Amino acid sequence: MLTIKSNAKEFTNFVKQLAESQVPFALSKALNVTAVEARDGDLHQEYKSTFEERNKAFFRQVHSIRPSSARDGKRLGRMVVAVQQSSEKPPPGTVRRLTARQAPGLNVKYGNPNQPGKKRSVADTDFMRKHVSGGNKKAGPENKVIAVPRSKENIPRNKNTGAIVKGFKPQTLIGSRRGWFSPNKKQGGVTGKLQVKKGKNDYRTLYMLHDSVRIKPQYKPIYALEIGVRKRIQKNFRDAMMYSLKTARFRGLRFTDDG
C-alpha cells in the first residue's frame, strides 16, 4: 500500500507557493501562444482583406513574433510579447526566436522568419507603416523611381513567393532593351511608363513610374490583434497554467510504501 504523508498546513503553503512560482512561466507561454494564434488568425485575415497576398513569407517578416521570456519578465516585473517587423530590434523582455518550449503544443514553424543557419535578406518593410498611418512613399537613392506594376497586365510571378520573375523586372527589361521608358511630358522628371513591345505595331504598359506614391491609411493591424488576443488569452492562460503545474517538480511530499 502506498501512503502519502504531509502536514496539511505545509502542503497548503507548498501548493500556494508552487502555483505562484509557475505563474510567470504560464503567463509567458500563454502570451506567446496567443500572439501566434492572433497573428495567424485575425491579423492574417485583416491583411488578406486589405492586400492581395502574393508572398506569405513577406507577411511573416512584417509581423514577426518576438516571444516573451519568463526569466526576463520576472527581472523586469512584466511580461512582454511583440508582433513587429523582423528588421526591428526585439524589445526588452523578449527574445528573437520562438521555440517549442516557449509555446508548447503549438506549431511554431513560422515564429522565426529567418531560420538559423540560413542567410536570408530581410525585405524592406518600413513602407507598410504608411498603409496604417498614410503618407508618401518616396523613391530610394539607388532606384530613383518607384515602378508600380499594372495588375491587369498579369506580369509573370513566382508561384511560391509571388515575386515578379527576373525577366520581367524593370531593371531587366531596360537592361535587355526589351522595354523602354516613356516619360510623362506634363509632370516631367522620372514619371512615366515602362513599356514593352506586344506585337508588330502594338505595345504593353507593364509599369507606371513615379518619384513618389501617395498611400492611403487602410490597414488596421492593431485592431485585428486586439480582437484576436481578447478571444484567446483567458483559455490559453488556463491551459498554460495546467501545463506548468503538470510539468513542475514536486518537492516536500514524502512517499512511503507500507507493503
Mind listing the pLDDT tens digit for each residue in 195-225?
Answer: 888 777 788 888 888 888 888 899 999 999 9
Question: How does strand 212-215 pair with strand 135-138?
Answer: antiparallel
In a domain? residue 139: yes
User: What residue numbers bound the domain in which 198 lies?
Assistant: 135-215
Question: What pLDDT was estimated at residue 43?
Answer: 96
Question: What pLDDT was estimated at residue 90?
Answer: 87
Cα–Cα dist 163/33, whole Å: 30
Looking at the structure, do residues 109 and 188 belong to the same domain, yes or no?
A: no
How many beta carbons lie within 10 A of that of residue 121, not counting itself? 6
Looking at the structure, do residues 209 and 225 belong to the same domain, yes or no?
A: no
Looking at the structure, do residues 199 and 243 belong to the same domain, yes or no?
A: no
Picking from 219, 204, 61, 30, the residue whose alpha carbon sits closest to that of residue 133 is 219
In a domain? residue 94: yes
Q: Following CA atoms 205, 211, 214, 219 in sequence, which dihedral angle do they give, to the nearest 10 degrees?
A: 80
Looking at the structure, do residues 167 and 190 belong to the same domain, yes or no?
A: yes
DSSP annotation of 120 = -
Task: Encode pLDDT of 61-93 as tens digits.
Answer: 899 999 998 888 778 888 899 999 888 888 888
Q: Give how many domains the chain has, as a whole number.
A: 2
Looking at the structure, do residues 226 and 183 belong to the same domain, yes or no?
A: no
Cα–Cα dist 238/31, whole Å: 12
What angle is formed at CA 166 by the lines to CA 161 and CA 172, rounded to 5 degrees? Answer: 150
Looking at the structure, do residues 103 and 44 belong to the same domain, yes or no?
A: yes
Residue pointed to by grid coordinates 515578379: 164
Looking at the structure, do residues 204 and 236 belong to the same domain, yes or no?
A: no
Looking at the structure, do residues 37 and 82 belong to the same domain, yes or no?
A: yes
Looking at the structure, do residues 77 and 202 belong to the same domain, yes or no?
A: no
Picking from 35, 15, 29, the residue whose alpha carbon sits closest to that of residue 73 is 29
Looking at the structure, do residues 116 and 153 belong to the same domain, yes or no?
A: no
Q: Kindly report the pTM of this predicted structure.
A: 0.70
In a domain? residue 129: no
Looking at the structure, do residues 49 and 119 belong to the same domain, yes or no?
A: yes
Looking at the structure, do residues 65 and 181 belong to the same domain, yes or no?
A: no
Alpha helices in the chain (DSSP H): 8-38, 44-50, 56-62, 70-76, 128-133, 170-175, 221-247
In a domain? residue 34: yes
In a domain? residue 130: no
**What value does the mean pLDDT of the chain take?**
78
The phi and psi torsions of 228 (rounded to 5 degrees) equal -65, -40
In a domain? residue 56: yes
Cα–Cα dist 199/51, whole Å: 33
Taking each helix axis from N to C end, the angle separating 8-38 and 221-247, rounded to the nearest 10 degrees, works out to 150
In a domain? residue 79: yes
